[in-house]
Amino acid sequence: MSMEWVLLGCLEETRDTLAHLIHLGEKPDHIVCISREEADRQKITNFVDMQSLSQELSIPCSVVTQYSMNSESDLSLFRKLRPRVLLVVGWQRLVPNTILGQVELGAIGFHGSCNILPWGRGRSPINWSIIEGRNRFALHMFFIKPGVDDGDIIGIKLYDINPWDNCRSVYYKTAIAQAELLAACLPSIRGGECPRMAQHGKEFYYPKRTPRDGRIDWNQDAESICRLVRAVTWPYPGAITEIDGIEVKIWDAQPFSSDFFNNATPGEICFVTGNRMGESVVACRSGSVLLKHVESSAVIRLGNRFQ
């Protein structure tokens, strides 16, 4: 059998892009995904069970045995599917060259950056862009090559990162942008007449982030601390700090004021509310931060200090 176009993905981003793409009038002939068991083994953040979704949408679905897709059964699957176009959305592994060779018109992927590729290749570009205080994001749709985010560009969609955005809301914008780019470009891709632009300019790769990179430095200013919280909130591990040797996760925070607690030590808990949310104000360099959503077994007391 030969499929017109096949969707490869397993994340919330995959689901949301597909939903908006169907709304815009496009629907894949087949979905390829992984099982929940493989997602658990690979510790995949933001996993979505695409098997269940495919049943709801009446789209045929196949499950590969490995996230890397290097097993013989996985390679055999793509030899059987023989997609004309392979669309990769929400798949955090390189597609094996053997599979790329099975796709008639090309495999298509997405990568965003606060700048135009090749600046901003690599890992966690949305998280890094929020942390760095960027206010624009460029989503690239490109032909996948054996390298990392280095294929010819098909189209670019620019959109804002506003002061209220966190990583989750920027992912929503990304899903919409991906669907719009696909709906606009799929007809020309199917016809083999798709424009493509080689990447030119200085290369820059964002490094991989780990949960430890979410540790708060209370000697930073309030804006920097709150950008970190917004960048690593759910579905990521959250911003972390400690009190009395107990880890505290912070999921939501905002700059509070520079008019109070100017003599407090960075990290000092200066105000604790009595509301059921347990909100508190913490001093930092040149200001303070209001913690709006905290998760910990620690007791947050006035006068204590986060480390």
pLDDT tens digits, residue range 108-154?
999 999 999 999 999 999 999 999 999 999 999 999 998 889 999 99
A 10 A CB-CB count for 237 gives 16
Q: Region 282-295: what's the mean pLDDT?
A: 96
Q: Region 237-264: what's the mean pLDDT?
A: 95
pLDDT-derived band at 165 (thresholds 50, 70, 90) equals very high
In the chain, what are the domains? 5-206 (3.40.50.170), 211-295 (3.10.25.10)
Judging by beta carbons within 10 Å of its beta carbon (0-12, 13-18, 19+), is residue 277 exposed, middle or buried? exposed
Across the chain, what does the average pLDDT equal?
94
Cα(61)–Cα(55) distance, rounded to whole angstroms?
Answer: 8
Q: Region 98-110: what's the mean pLDDT?
A: 94
Q: Cβ(273)–Cβ(280) under 8 Å?
A: yes
pLDDT-derived band at 104 (thresholds 50, 70, 90) equals very high
**In the predicted model, is pLDDT for residue 13 greater than 80?**
yes
- Whose structure tokens read 């003599």? 263
Residue pLDDT, tens place only, 33-78:
999 999 999 999 899 999 999 999 999 999 999 999 999 999 999 9
Q: Cβ(34)–Cβ(10) under 8 Å?
A: yes
pLDDT-derived band at 80 (thresholds 50, 70, 90) equals very high
Residue pLDDT, tens place only, 190-240:
888 888 999 999 999 999 899 899 999 999 999 999 999 999 999 899 999
**In the predicted model, is pLDDT for residue 161 greater than 60?**
yes
